[in-house]
Amino acid sequence: MYLKKISLINFKNYPEAELEFSSHVNCLTGNNGEGKTNVLDAIHYLSFCKSFFNPIDSQNILHEAPFFLIQGVFDNNNEEEEVYCGLKRNQRKIFKRNKKEYARLAEHIGLYPLVMVSPADSELITEGSESRRKFIDSVIAQFDREYLENLISYNKVLSHRNALLKQIADSGRFDKDALEIWDMQLVDYGKRIHTKRSDFIKSFIPIFQKYYELISGGREKVGIEYNSHLNENEFSIVLANTLNRDRAMQYTTVGIHKDDLEFTIDTHSLKKYASQGQQKSFLIALKLAQFDFIKSIKKVTPILLLDDIYDKLDDLRVKQLMELVSSDNFGQLFITDTHPTRLSDLFKSAEVDYKVFKIVNGTTRLESPKLESTKVS
Ligand SMILES: Nc1ncnc2c1ncn2[C@@H]1O[C@H](COP(=O)(O)OP(=O)(O)O)[C@@H](O)[C@H]1O
Ligand SMILES: [Mg+2]
């Protein structure tokens, strides 16, 4: 599976653009702010029905334009498949595959697996637990449809339960029966999600450690630990034990919505003790392990997006990484760089099939970015 073609209308800083890609390596070069990452984000939309960066779809419409349109043509075992994503201001997003609109976007997730490596990944280390839960969820959701459905249901039940806790506090009347109805469902969905997260982490760790070793030369040992209120105790018991606290706080204080991942380096906190270089290697290893994991389960090679890779690694490491990702184990790649030839020089000497796109934004914001491609085989 690979993306043959993408056309954009009014997407971020692209009034109109059409790009035809190589099935192997695609380099997007250009100065800062020209629109390289925006192309990656459009590709991300085709896979996940949403932006990697901005959850508010309407903000991805070109300023002042009434709508955006992203259309992709994928090659799936020599069959062409069209994916359409359109958004008019103040209307709901329309998402279609082969001209047929989805009833629910969740049905699309996982059909065109994709992994993004971005400077924004550092959030996984620096930010709160939500970003790490999102990471786990986005990996599992790509190969397990039911997981995503359970997660959506869990979150719905959770917000009902929280609303009820608030209502109980406001009215002073404790409605035990109503709470039990939400608790039963919360426990049911919560347990399923917890089991899948634990199983996933267990099989993910060795793959992740292998990649960290490959990238770093393997002097230190990295680890990931899955922390959850459900690790030690039955969810129903945990929930019963915290009822008083939940009532006082007026929201649900325990459950899988509080799960977290603890990242370690030689058993110490990665955030506190690892060097910048070690943290960056850790993040890339996480993403490449994600890639491997999805590939082995789905038997489809995901598309790999590498944004501003030189931001993360020095020249030598980039060279090693490029050798790794252009090997047969990987499929279609999209890589951005501000330097016009640094990446293509690497691929040229390695005799890898690649295309280079030079991205130049107009001097005025609404001017079309000019795209020139040079094909080298
Ligand atoms: N909705 C939008 N409408 C117009 N321009 C946008 C929109 N969203 C982002 N941009 C512009 O896109 C540019 C950033 O593009 P980006 O792809 O991140 O650049 P880079 O080439 O550095 O990766 C910025 O100039 C930004 O103002
Ligand atoms: Mg960028």
Give yes or no on whether 1-113+300-377 and 126-298 have one common fold: no
Q: Which atom of ligand 1 is nearest to the CA of 39?
A: 17
* Closest C-alpha residue for ligand 1 atom 9: 12
Length of the chain, please?
Answer: 377
Cα–Cα distance for residue pair 370/303, rounded to 1 Å: 24
201's tokens? 């982490």
Q: Which atom of ligand 1 is nearest to the CA of 307?
A: 23
**Does the pLDDT at position 149 exceed 70?**
yes
Ligand 1 centroid from CA 3, angstroms:
22
63 touches ligand 1 (CB under 6 Å)? yes
60 touches ligand 1 (CB under 6 Å)? yes
**Does the pLDDT at position 35 exceed 70?**
yes
- Average pLDDT rounded to a whole number, residues 266-280: 92
Q: Which of 8, 11, 13 to mutate to test the pocket of ligand 1 (most atoms within 8 A of CB)?
A: 13
pLDDT of residue 367: 27
Domain 126-298 CATH (choose: 1.20.1050.90, 3.40.50.11260, 3.30.450.20, 1.10.238.10): 1.20.1050.90
**Does the pLDDT at position 364 exceed 60?**
no
pLDDT of residue 373: 53
The span from the first CA to the last CA of the chain, in angstroms, equals 20
| Lowest-pLDDT choice from 100-109, 168-177, 181-190, 340-349 | 340-349
Nearest to 130 by CA among 105, 149, 155, 109: 155
Cα–Cα distance for residue pair 92/111, rounded to 1 Å: 22
Residue spans of the domains in the chain: they are 1-113+300-377, 126-298
Token pair 């899988």 in the structure block, residue = 256
Q: State the average pLDDT for the chain.
A: 91
Which amino acid is located at 198 in the chain? S
Helix (H) or strand (E) holding 303: strand 303-306
pLDDT of residue 223: 96
Cα–Cα distance for residue pair 44/52, rounded to 1 Å: 6
Is residue 139 a contact partner of residue 124, using CB atoms and an 8 Å limit?
no
Q: Which of 10, 27, 34, 38 to mutate to test the pocket of ligand 1 (most atoms within 8 A of CB)?
A: 38
Nearest to 115 by CA among 133, 139, 141, 85: 139
**Does the pLDDT at position 368 exceed 50?**
no
Q: Which atom of ligand 1 is nearest to the CA of 13?
A: 5
- Average pLDDT rounded to a whole number, residues 314-336: 89
Ligand 2 centroid from CA 308, angstroms:
6
- Average pLDDT rounded to a whole number, residues 209-215: 91
118 touches ligand 1 (CB under 6 Å)? no
Q: What is the DSSP string of 3-46?
A: EEEEEEEEETTEEEEEEE--SSEEEEE-STTSSHHHHHHHHHHH
Q: Which region, left, alpha or beta, applies to residue 301 given φ > 0 means left and ψ of -120 to 50 means alpha?
A: beta
- Residue 2: CA count within 13 A, CB half-sphere: 16
Question: Is-above-0.85 flag for pTM?
Answer: yes
| Lowest-pLDDT choice from 49-53, 281-285, 299-303, 315-319 | 315-319
Token pair 């997260």 in the structure block, residue = 197
Q: Which atom of ligand 1 is nearest to the CA of 30?
A: 21
Cα–Cα distance for residue pair 42/69, rounded to 1 Å: 10
For helices 315-325 and 276-298, give the axis angle rounded to 10 degrees.
0
Per-residue confidence band for 258, with pLDDT thresholds at 50, 70 and 90: very high
Q: Which are the contacts of 319, defined by CB distance < 8 A and separation ≥ 6?
A: 346
Strand partners, 82: 73
| Ligand closest to the CA atom of residue 31 | 1
**Does the pLDDT at position 295 exceed 90?**
yes
Share of the chain above pLDDT 90, in %: 77
Which amino acid is located at 249 in the chain? M
Per-residue confidence band for 362, with pLDDT thresholds at 50, 70 and 90: very low
| Ligand closest to the CA atom of residue 12 | 1
214's tokens? 């490959």
Cα–Cα distance for residue pair 281/309, rounded to 1 Å: 11
Ligand 2 centroid from CA 307, angstroms:
7
CA angle (348, 291, 326) in 5-degree steps: 10
pLDDT of residue 363: 28
Token pair 């994916």 in the structure block, residue = 83
252's tokens? 């649900």
Which fold does the domain 1-113+300-377 belong to in CATH?
A: Rossmann fold (3.40.50)
Quote the radius of gyration of the chain (alpha carbons, Å). 23
